Amino acid sequence: EAEVAQSPRYKITEKSQAVAFWCDPISGHATLYWYRQILGQGPELLVQFQDESVVDDSQLPKDRFSAERLKGVDSTLKIQPAELGDSAMYLCASSLAKTAHGYTFGSGTRLTVV
Amino acid sequence: SQKIEQNSEALNIQEGKTATLTCNYTNYSPAYLQWYRQDPGRGPVFLLLIRENEKEKRKERLKVTFDTTLKQSLFHITASQPADSATYLCALDPSNYQLIWGAGTKLIIKP
């Protein structure tokens, strides 16, 4: 069964350092999402791509976060500089269409900022 | 404000019984509602989607109902097993917008 690949699985970084996460969606999925999830809460959308274009980044803290999907396939999410409050699970998901098939999530990157 | 609520308390169910989880929402007119399962340290896994014009949807031991008048969805697992223990998330899909997520309910099935 096709999967969404994410790396790294775990990341520990010092505050003020830069950190990057990578996501490879299911082949053919045009829509890609980056979510942040704090323990005990639901996922919070950071950015949504349709192919290589950003559809929604209204919740992305643009002073420190950036995201790109240059060729409309894989994607990178970057944080610079990292802050203690950024510690969370970062999830990537992809979908064929917005509704009928649900989203397929990767296993996520657990970020700890120390 | 727009809100989606799931039971924050963990639900403890005896193996073999039916587990029922609740998802309530306000100030939405969702076109779709989705249910996901999430295991600790993993991403959510899509289970079922139900449309606003559907009252009920089934998949094996899972059943979802959707009452747009009550603004509520119920998620049932029949003949529950310890392997069903996980956090279950509901998410609303107001058409042409992003998914709005609940915080999830932790389900514990005791042998």
- Position B30 scores a pLDDT of 81
B11 burial via Cβ count (<10 Å: 0-12, 13-18, 19+): middle
Per-block average pLDDT, block size 10, for chain A (114 residues)?
93 98 95 96 95 93 96 95 98 81 93 98
Percent of the residues in chain B that have a pLDDT greater than 70, as a whole number:
95
Is residue B27 scored above 90 in pLDDT? no
Residues of B contacting chain A (CB within 8 angstroms): 31-32, 34, 36, 41-47, 49, 89, 91, 93, 95, 98-99, 101-104
The per-residue pLDDT for B1 is 61
Mean pLDDT, residues B97-110: 92
C-alpha–C-alpha distance, residues A24 and A92, integer Å: 9
Q: For the segment B28-84, what is each residue's pLDDT rounded down to a tens digit?
A: 788 889 999 999 999 999 999 999 899 899 999 999 999 989 999 999 999 999 999
Spatial distance between the Cα atoms of A114 and A15, rounded to a whole number of angstroms: 6
A107/B43 CB distance under 8 A = yes
